[in-house]
A and B are shown apart, each in its own frame.
Chain A
Amino acid sequence: MDSLNIEATKYSPAVRFEPEKRVLQISGESYPENTMEFYAPVFDYLKEYLALPEAPPLTVNVDLIYFNSSSSKILINLFDLLDGAAKEGRDVAINWFYESDDEDNLEFGEEFAEDLEYVQFHLVEKEM
């Protein structure tokens, strides 16, 4: 598979996937005008990756400084997709990064974790 590389803007995150490392990295700010349109290629890419017959493992790092409510909805859809793959036995992990003084972002991570059943969900405190 090709790699995925979306550059960050002031209101949309950088999204990178390098197949050799098997890590999808989403980082920056997320409040694009049309959230669904922005994330559509990410979903397409992940669906293709998850359908690979050799079933490689996957780690998703989410390191967002700020995201709006529409992005929150997209994230739960994304995590549901990963949760479904994990349910079928795929080795999938999500790392949710937050800064130690950002209680709200920690709470967001906890709320996502509560809503997911199979995928490994790690809350990762960032070094300040």
Chain B
Amino acid sequence: MLADLYDFKAGLNRQNVIFCFFGPISQVLIAEIGDILKKKMMLGEASKSVGSRVFSILVEQVQNIIRYSDEKYPVDNSVYEVDQLSVGIIAVGLEGAYCTVISGNRVENGKTGELRNKLEKLLGMNKDELKAYYKEQRRIGPGEGSKGAGLGLIEMARKSAEPLMFNIRRVDEKYSFFTIKALV
């Protein structure tokens, strides 16, 4: 670990990552990450709308990790008001003219089919279709097993300058690793 950490940092630098977090994620952390990001973005020449879109995608990705990650970390209930936190990775970086927001978390193999279908449906839509779908989904109740409004992925697709990119990689008999990336 001691020697590897430099390689890890160098890898992040090579990919122009300006911010990266791995570990158990709490709601409070989103606000902290948001603050760090706002300061970092202000240092660059990003416009206000780019900054707010990056923050918006970041919040949706982090809240998706909190709600859907199948990797949990036990915590002290008296501190966090919950018994466990969800584990995931989130990173913000630069790629050419774009700002990238990427996140990853573990998903049970049995849930990957539905996730893939949802995303492929969004990838096939243009901006107007995404808007209509967003409005339609906003009015109907959340789906089974959904703890949020189920709108997060559509919101990300709408805020992203290019179609969302995702990858679902089977890790073992039980789990896959899901990665999603948006460009602003």
Interface residues in chain A, defined as those with a beta carbon under 8 Å from any beta carbon in chain B = 10-11, 31-33, 35, 66, 68-70, 72-73, 76, 101-104, 111, 114-115
Q: How far is the CA of A38 from the CA of B43 in the complex (A)?
A: 34
The minimal Cβ–Cβ distance linking A14 to chain B, given in whole angstroms, is 15
| Structural contact, B27 and A11, CB atoms closer than 8 A | yes
Indicate if the CB atoms of A102 and B49 lie closer than 8 Å.
yes
A-contact bits for B142-157, CB 8 A (1 contact / 0 none): 0000001101101100
Partner of B30, one of A11, A103, A104: A11
Contact B53 A73 (CB under 8 A): no
A69 touches B49 (CB 8 A): no
Beta-carbon contact of B59 and A68 below 8 Å? yes
B9 cross-chain contacts in A, Cβ below 8 A: none
23 A-B pairs with CB atoms under 8 Å apart are: A11-B27, A11-B30, A32-B27, A33-B63, A66-B56, A66-B59, A68-B56, A69-B60, A69-B148, A69-B152, A69-B155, A70-B63, A70-B148, A70-B149, A72-B155, A73-B151, A76-B139, A101-B48, A102-B52, A111-B131, A111-B135, A114-B135, A115-B139
Does the CB pair B55–A66 fall under 8 Å?
yes
Query: Min CB distance, B142 to chain A, in Å?
Result: 8
Residue from the list B52, B131, B149 in contact with A72, Cβ < 8 A: B149
Q: Are A115 and B135 CB-contacts (below 8 A) given A35-B149, A102-B48?
A: yes
Q: A68: which B residues are within 8 A, CB to CB?
A: 56, 59-60, 63, 152, 155
CA distance A11 to B30 in the complex (A): 9
Query: Of all chain B residues, which has the CB nearest A107?
Result: B131
Select from chain B the residue with minimum beta-carbon distance to A11.
B31
A101 CA / B131 CA spacing, docked (Å)? 21
A sample of 4 more A-B contacts (CB under 8 A), given A31-B63, A69-B149, is A66-B56, A68-B60, A69-B155, A70-B63
Residues of B within 8 A of A33 (CB): 27, 63, 66
| A121 CB, nearest partner CB in chain B, Å | 15
* Contact status A73-B138, CB under 8 Å: yes
Taking a contact as CB atoms under 8 Å apart, the answer to whether A31 and B49 are in contact is no
Across the interface, do B138 and A72 meet the contact criterion of CB distance under 8 Å?
A: yes
In the assembled complex, the Cα of A111 lies from the Cα of B48 at a distance in Å of: 21
- In the complex, the chain A residue whose C-beta lies closest to that of B152 is A69
Alpha-carbon separation in the docked complex, A10 to B134 (Å) = 26
Chain B residues, CB < 8 A from A104: 49, 52-53, 56, 159
- Give the 8 A-B residue pairs with the shortest CB-CB distance, closest first: A69-B151, A10-B31, A73-B149, A69-B155, A33-B27, A70-B149, A70-B148, A69-B152
CA distance A70 to B48 in the complex (A): 23
Q: Tell me the minimal C-beta distance from A126 to chain B in angstroms.
A: 13
Smallest CB gap from A10: residue in B: B31
Provide the B48-78 mask, 1 if CB < 8 A to any CB of A, else 0: 1100110110011001001000000000000
